[in-house]
Amino acid sequence: MADTSILVVGQVGRDLVLAVKEVPGGGGSSDVRERRELLGGKGANQAVAMVQLGAEVELLGVVGDDAVGEELLRSLDRDGVGHRWVRRRGPSALLVDVVSADGDSRLLEDVPPTSVLTVEDVHAAAEAFAAADTVCLQLQQPVGALVEAARLAAAAGARVVLDGAVDADRRGLLDAASVLRADAHEAGLLAGRPTGDADAAAALARQLVAEHRLDVVALGVDGGDLVAWPGGHRVFPHASGHVDATGGGDSFVAGLVVGLRAGTTPERAGELAADCAASTVARLGGRPDLGVLRPG
Ligand SMILES: Nc1ncnc2c1ncn2[C@@H]1O[C@H](COP(=O)(O)OP(=O)(O)O)[C@@H](O)[C@H]1O
Ligand SMILES: [Mg+2]
């Protein structure tokens, strides 16, 4: 696969991770025990994770036309993520992750309207879609941009991967997709009822696989992740305890995609995905460190 790559379509921003003993209530305050300022955003975190797993990755997203944007591009460079399609305008997005000692986290997201993708941004990156064998779409991006991205990906014959909440507007994307991943909350929204129970999630996954001809559906469930494919499924239980669950899903997607792309079975790809998620939730912040999990 020398000339092809993964294209990740999603958010890029500055992550400010603040570790506190306890998250204060209204009117309270708390000393910060540790502060990390990192390249972040779901798009960047997925892209970095995939590079760490050995893939060649291009990112389509937006960074600010500011000093932070400059720094984010340098970080992408250091991480080996292709950023020739990353647009620059407005202020950079800022994501603040406040994490308590027991692993409970609060996320504050300043996502300026200029920092999300437009249909024009997608068109301007048409070449990137043509070169990709796999396109990962983060469903938090505006629906118009996602629909156009799915159309270009399909035209290129690329595998389309969706991650996030499939609301009514985004439902049509399922027919363009091969892989869907949703966390437990997002899976419940899609089903219109709670699907935390593994049997309920398996029923939803079976229905999605059949109705939309999906190759793989991964859904968060109570205490684990379910991975389903035509004819089977498996639940991967979470390791006990976590430092910060932020970014667990993004690393999960990265493992799943890299595994499938290497031609392994959905079950084996699910194993890698679960290992990647477990590694990232054992760390503060959403930034992955997956080098040791790189498939041989
Ligand atoms: N011990 C754990 N506790 C909580 N989450 C875990 C644990 N181990 C792994 N995870 C992963 O974290 C994921 C969270 O997904 P998601 O909410 O999409 O995260 P994000 O969007 O921040 O990347 C779970 O689906 C799971 O794969
Ligand atoms: Mg997620």
Evaluate if residue 239 carries a pLDDT over 80.
yes
* Helices first, then strands: H and E counts in the chain: 9, 14
Nearest-angstrom CA–CA distance, 260 and 238: 21
Q: Where are the domains of the chain?
A: 5-14+40-94+102-290
Cβ of residue 182 lying under 6 Å from some atom of ligand 1: no
Q: Which ligand is nearest to the CA of 201?
A: 1
Residue 3's pLDDT band (boundaries 50, 70, 90)?
Answer: low
Q: Which pLDDT does position 4 carry in this prediction?
A: 75
Our mutation pick for probing the ligand 1 site, out of 225, 240, 279, 280, counting the most ligand atoms within 8 A of Cβ, is 225
Pocket flag, ligand 1, residue 14 (CB < 6 Å): no
Q: Does residue 145 sit in helix, strand or coil? A: helix
List of residues 6+ apart from 296 with CB closer than 8 A: none
Contact between 164 and 138 (Cβ < 8 Å): yes
Query: Cα angle at 194 between 179 and 43, to 5 degrees?
Result: 40
Condensed to tens digits (0 to 9), the pLDDT of residues 161-189 reads: 999 999 999 999 999 999 999 999 999 99
Cβ of 243 below 6 Å from ligand 1: no
Predicted confidence at residue 1, as pLDDT, reads: 41
More confident residue, 130 or 1: 130
Confidence of residue 211 (pLDDT cuts 50, 70, 90): very high
Q: Selecting from 3.40.50.2300, 3.90.550.10, 3.40.1190.20, 3.30.360.10, what CATH number does the domain 5-14+40-94+102-290 have?
A: 3.40.1190.20
pTM value > 0.85? yes
